[in-house]
Amino acid sequence: MSKRYAVVLAAGKGTRMKSRLYKVLHPVGGKPMVQHVVDQIKEVQVDQIVTVIGHGAEKVKDQLGAEVNYVLQEEQLGTGHAVMQTEDLLGDLEGTTLVVCGDTPLISAETMEALLKHHEKENAKVTLLTAHAEDPFGYGRVIRKEDGTVSKIVEHKDATIHEQAVQEINTGTYCFDNKTLFEALKQVTNDNVQGEYYLPDVIEIVKEQNETVAAYQTPAFEETIGVNDRVALSEAERLMKKRINTKHMKNGVTIIDPQQTYITSDVKIGPDTVIYPGTVLSGTTVIGEECIIGPNTEIKDSQIGNETTIKQSVVHDSEVGDKVSIGPFAHIRPQSQLGNEIKIGNFVEVKKSKMDHGSKASHLSYIGDAEIGKEVNLGCGSITVNYDGQNKHLTKVEDGAFIGCNSNLIAPVTVGENAYVAAGSTITEDVPGEALSIARARQTNKEGYVSKIQEKQNNHRG
Ligand code: UD1
Ligand code: CA
């Protein structure tokens, strides 16, 4: 196989997005568009990936890191000019160059591979990836000769009414014989409505040299959409969501309503997990098998074990074990570690805390900066008082302890193994293991006092 190279065009500003964020960095399915493109190219065997950067160059570099090479296009004079900037790196090489736009986030490795195969089979100098668009507005149109061969691409803005009626579009993905590409680019001019050096003009130039220009039409127009504005962005999001959800369902995950379930690209989910509507799973989240997630649950950058249920709750940057029950209406904040068979009930907030096997906080609690042992019961309304206005302090509750309802544990403080804290206590000192601690005012009952009060009130009125 001859050598293969790839060029990703990512220097444009994306004026039509009307955004401070550079176009190719807008996320689709939670991942920047240009990252999708690079991830797919990496699945096709190429010897080198070169990304053309310009607007937001540093940000694009931060995103893609060292996995690609970069060239800077200082002024954005068009897609042809952009590819020309790679000449120093690629110009002298023999082989095939795949060019992909950074704003086509749905393009798949399979389609790129099919394009490369077609290019090799046809022994072509240029092969372009085309698609049939119901609404071709804005795309370059593929103009074919009477014999069916491609003669040129006409940009929407340059097209005659007759040409605008053509529904076969240029997807912006091509492969070129590398040497032919750089020779032809030298002849591209900016004599067009936009005053830009168009990469697709290479096609007409090569064709006029009587070299073979081939076209591979993908049946999947949806894969090729170019995102130029927010309307197209939402369309790409819809399609990406469908692709991601379908993948999980094929892997054995039940998604009750895929239209109402938002899962970003890198999330992993085990089989027989059921996802209810209104669920948003994102980042590096990994969910085990046989879980029940949702409805209306948000889980970000978290690891969830097997057979765990999370309903109407938010979990961020945390680890949750097996057979855990969370919610409804719980909030698990960053750096929390919940072991197996934990129960977190309604209106419970956990932050930067560890809870070990079998412990429970079933109702209305705040657990922050705490280490909770095994089989601990935190009664309704238990609060770790972790913040003194300046610093956060640790609360420890050792195995088997029982914290009565409406108790304040004023950190730093430790409740020892199997200790009891009486309901309504405010604990300021350590409680030894096996002890019962009561820290509340003693109750006094004043017998018959109510009639005394009423008598006083009557006298006052009289
Ligand atoms: C381009 C094609 C059009 C095709 C469409 C497919 C040209 C002239 N037109 O149009 O035929 O139907 O893609 O989506 O190529 N870029 C640079 N430097 C530049 C200009 C652009 O790096 O100087 C990058 C952009 O960041 C973008 C990509 O090239 O990722 C495509 O540019 P864009 O302006 O979006 O081209 P379209 O008008 O969509
Ligand atoms: Ca575009």
Q: What is the pLDDT of residues 243-284, one digit of tens each?
A: 999 999 999 999 999 999 999 999 999 999 999 999 999 999
> CATH number for the domain including 106?
3.90.550.10
With a 6 A CB cut-off, is 131 part of the ligand 1 pocket? no
Ligand that lies nearest to the alpha carbon of residue 155, given by its number in the listed order: 1
Residues 135 and 12 in one domain: yes
Residue 362 falls inside a structural domain: no
Is residue 240 in some structural domain?
no
Three-state SS at 372? strand
Sheet holding 268-269, edge to edge: 268-269, 286-287, 303-304, 319-320, 337-338, 354-355, 370-372, 395-397, 413-415
DSSP lists the bridge partners of residue 315 as: 299, 332
363: three-class secondary structure by DSSP: strand
**Is position 363 annotated as part of the catalytic site?**
yes
Q: Please give the model's pTM, rounded to 2 decimal places.
A: 0.92
Please give the tally of structural domains in the chain. Answer: 3
Among residues 224, 240, 269, which one ends one of the domains? 224
Ligand 1 site, residue 330, Cβ cutoff 6 A:
no
Residue 13 pLDDT grade (very low, low, confident, very high; cuts 50, 70, 90): confident
Tell me whether residue 334 is in a domain.
yes
174 lines ligand 1 (CB under 6 A): no
Is residue 47 located within the same domain as residue 132? Answer: yes
Q: Is residue 256 part of a domain?
A: yes
> 192 in a domain, yes or no?
yes
Give the pLDDT confidence of 102-155 residue by residue, as tens digits: 999 999 999 999 999 999 999 999 999 999 999 999 999 999 999 999 999 999
Q: 347 and 442 share a domain?
A: no
Closest approach atom of ligand 1 to CA 13: 26
List CB contacts of 178: < 8 A, sequence separation 6 or more: 5, 90, 93, 94, 95, 96, 97
Please check whether residues 126 and 23 belong to one and the same domain.
yes
Question: 402-425 pLDDT, tens per residue?
Answer: 999 999 999 999 999 999 999 999
Residue type, 227: V
139 phi and psi angles, rounded to 5 deg: -85, 160
- Does the residue 364 lie in any domain? no
* 3-state secondary structure labels for all residues of 129-143: EEEECCCCCCCCEEE
pLDDT of 458 above 70? yes
Residues 257 and 158 occupy one common structural domain: no
CA nearest ligand 1 atom 16, residue = 12
Whether residue 139 is found in the same domain as residue 273:
no
Q: Are 445 and 420 in contact (CB under 8 A)?
A: no
Regarding the beta carbon of 223 and ligand 1, being less than 6 Å apart is answered no
Domain stops at, among 324, 352, 380: 352
Which one of the listed residues 118, 156, 357, 363 is annotated catalytic? 363
Q: Does the Cβ of 253 fall within 6 Å of ligand 1? A: no
Judge whether 241 lies within some domain: no
- Among 184, 125, 196, which Cα is nearest to 155's? 196
Residue 310, pLDDT score? 99
Indicate the residue among 302, 320, 352 that finishes a domain: 352
Instruction: Judge if 211 and 256 occupy the same domain.
Output: no
Taking phi over 0 as left and psi of -120 to 50 as alpha, with beta for the rest, 148 belongs to: left
331: domain CATH number is: 2.160.10.10
270 and 208 in a common domain: no
- Residues 36, 177, single domain; the answer is yes
Phi and psi, residue 7, nearest 5°: -120, 130
The number of the ligand 1 atom at minimal distance from the alpha carbon of 226 is 14
pLDDT, position 1: 66
Residue 275 domain boundaries: 252-352
Same domain, 277 and 326: yes
Together in a domain, 276 and 156: no
Q: How far is the CA of 16 from the centre of ligand 1 (A)?
A: 12
Let me know if residue 243 belongs to a domain.
no
- Average the pLDDT over 180-200 and give the result: 97
Scanning the structure block, which residue is given the tokens 């000449």?
A: 87
Q: What confidence score (pLDDT) does residue 2 get?
A: 85
Question: Are residues 192 and 294 located together in one domain of the fold?
Answer: no
Mean pLDDT of all residues in 68-77: 97
